[in-house]
């Protein structure tokens, strides 16, 4: 049955004029439904923001260092997979359709580089290190800024383009699952 569902979903995707209802068939489970590229990224943004809030609560309650480290490493894992998917798939596609607004992608790439440095420091550090909490907090601030620019400037412009966000979303979801699967095998 799942094979039939995937086949019919692919057939409707390949049709020259897909009907919007084809993406929301009742035969597909929630696990099979893939959000479009931008919706996938926004969902990641919300999930990581919630993790930063959880971390902040742990800091304020002076929680165990193991609890803080668990959340911090979840944040790092999520952000690493998210950034990789953006850099490998979303940004190149956005760059192609943004034209004169391509500098939005350049800025996002630079922001990723700064975040990656902090992620590496957090992953190598320990919650009882003097600057650990500050690094997680600053990473959260960088991410907030990055998210505001993406969601406020880049995403609306990409949505207005002719980019196939559904197909890109499928590719991104597959790549993200691959990255998180590889990460799970390492630990």
48 neighbors 78 (Cβ within 8 angstroms):
yes
- Helix (H/G/I), strand (E/B), else coil: 29: coil
Computed over every residue of the chain, the mean pLDDT equals 83
Q: Which long-range contacts (CB under 8 A, 24 or more apart) does 86-90 make?
A: 86/41, 86/112, 87/112, 88/175, 89/37, 89/168, 89/171, 89/172, 89/175, 90/37, 90/41, 90/168, 90/172
> What does DSSP assign to residue 181?
H
146 falls in which pLDDT band (50, 70, 90)? very high
Q: At 182, is the pLDDT very low, low, confident or very high (cuts 50, 70, 90)?
A: low
pLDDT at 98 over 80: yes
Taking only the tens place, the pLDDT of each residue in 123-140 is 999 999 989 999 999 999
Residue 5: the pLDDT is 38
Domains within the chain, CATH numbers bracketed = 34-186 (1.20.120)
pLDDT at 38 (0 to 100): 97
pLDDT at 25 over 90: no
How many angstroms from the chain centroid is the CA of residue 136? 18
- Cβ atoms within 10 Å of 140's Cβ, excluding its own: 19
What b/e readout covers 76-92, taking b as 16+ CB neighbours within 10 angstroms? bbbbbbbbebbeebbbe
């Amino acid at each position: 049955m799942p094979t039939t569902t995937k086949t019919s979903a692919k057939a409707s995707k390949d049709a020259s004029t897909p009907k919007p209802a084809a993406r929301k068939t009742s035969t597909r489970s929630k696990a099979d439904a893939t959000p479009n590229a931008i919706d996938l990224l926004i969902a990641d943004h919300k999930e990581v923001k919630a993790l930063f809030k959880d971390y902040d609560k742990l800091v304020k309650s002076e929680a165990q260092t193991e609890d803080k480290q668990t959340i911090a490493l979840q944040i790092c894992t999520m952000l690493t997979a998210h950034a990789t998917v953006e850099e490998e798939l979303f940004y190149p596609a956005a760059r192609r359709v943004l034209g004169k607004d391509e500098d939005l992608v350049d800025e996002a790439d630079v922001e990723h580089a700064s975040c990656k440095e902090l992620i590496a420091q957090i992953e190598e550090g320990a919650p009882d290190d003097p600057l650990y909490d500050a690094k997680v907090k600053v990473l959260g601030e960088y991410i907030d800024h990055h998210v505001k620019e993406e969601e406020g400037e880049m995403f609306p412009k990409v949505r207005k383009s002719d980019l196939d966000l559904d197909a890109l979303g499928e590719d991104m979801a597959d790549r993200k699952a691959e990255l998180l699967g590889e990460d799970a095998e390492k630990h």
